[in-house]
Structure 1
Amino acid sequence: MVVDQIPARIRWAVDLVDIKPDDKVLEIGCGPGAAAELICSRLEPGQGRLFAIDRSESGVDRTKRRNAAAIEDKRLTVRQIDLATLRVPVKRLSKVFAFNVNLFWVRECVDEVALLHDRLRPGGVVGLFYDAAREDQVPQMIAQAGASLEKGGFRVSALKSTQPAVVGIIGRR
């Protein structure tokens, strides 16, 4: 892994979620696989796991190609699936990570947030991150995503970075 090839905004977000070697992580919207690569680099084979999902077949394919070694050593599983149909045993996840997944701030997502709350261990963290280049959208992103998580039973805080321009909404179970 070459850290310089992972965008600074992804590095900032993954750092904020604070991945531990034995974490069980769900990534929603794995896209090109950069976050999956960085997350897997922090997981200990045989202990930590990342379950990465994307609705897009091309996102899943790109993540699989980029992270073949992590799939081989069983740190990573990648599936083409929608969050609403996700099947993960209850209370197994320690962290949830999503970057630019608009679901949480553009529409009601009560069922999806409830699913995350049910699947996270007590003390688990949901990290929702968005590019903040469109400054006019940031207040709405924070308000809507934060409200979605709060309604689902999470304690919420928001953070913003200017270099890179990213906003993070953190929900703690």
Structure 2
Amino acid sequence: MVGGRIVGIDESAEMVERARRRNAEHVASGRAEIRAGALADLDRAGVLADLDPAGERFDKVFAVNLDLFHRGTPAPELAIVARLLKPGGRLCLCYEPLTPERAAELAERLPPLLSRSGFSASTTTSTTTTSRGSLLGVIAYARDGRT
């Protein structure tokens, strides 16, 4: 990482520890911060407000293979993400490997869900080169950065 700052959040303490070790140089320099916990719990505890004391918002939020956004109703979490993003900021969801049927189902379900939460969204589906399944990418843009 040449510039900027990254914040990683994972509910798994083991995954957080792995990420901290893998990114030790960036963590030590202050360019990376990795937190354990659920997004909503961290928000309620005020941890997310402390991530950037200057009050700047994020350009991008990435969620990889996160069940939250395709099971149940993630409206509270999407509201948090929208609040954390700059206007026009991007929420990037990526899922793999999926069966072609599951990828198609998610590609149909996610954009309306994101739209109801204040995002505009598009989906891209492609086949992975390992033939393990389909890869689904959803890019959602924050309309005004707040919901």
TM-score category of the 2 structures, normalised to the smaller one: 0.7 to 0.9
CA deviations 1:49-84 (Å, max 9, x no partner) are 111011011010111111111111111101101011
Q: Percent identity?
A: 30
Q: Is the 8 A contact 2:125 2:137 kept in 1?
A: yes
Q: CA deviation at 1:130?
A: 0.3
Which residue, 15, 23, 27 being the options, matches 1:67? 23
CA deviations 1:117-154 (Å, max 9, x no partner) are 11111010000000043222112222232222111111
Tell which structure's C-alpha radius of gyration is larger.
Answer: 2
- With normalisation by structure 1, the TM-score equals 0.69
Match of residue 109 from structure 2: 144
Match of residue 13 from structure 1: none
Matched, 1:83 2:39: yes
- With normalisation by structure 2, the TM-score equals 0.80
- Secondary structure (helix, strand or coil) at the match of 1:106 reads coil
Alignment of 1:18-167 (within 5 A): 41=1, 43-44=2-3, 48-85=4-41, 86=43, 87-89=47-49, 92-164=57-129, 165-167=134-136
- Secondary structure (helix, strand or coil) at the match of 1:140 reads helix
RMSD of equivalent CA atoms = 1.6
Amino acid in the other structure paired with 1:102:
D
Which residue, 107, 117, 139 being the options, matches 1:170? 139
Q: CA deviation at 1:91?
A: 5.7
Q: Is the 8 A contact 2:103 2:135 kept in 1?
A: no
Give the count of matched residue pairs.
129
- Secondary structure (helix, strand or coil) at the match of 1:144 reads helix
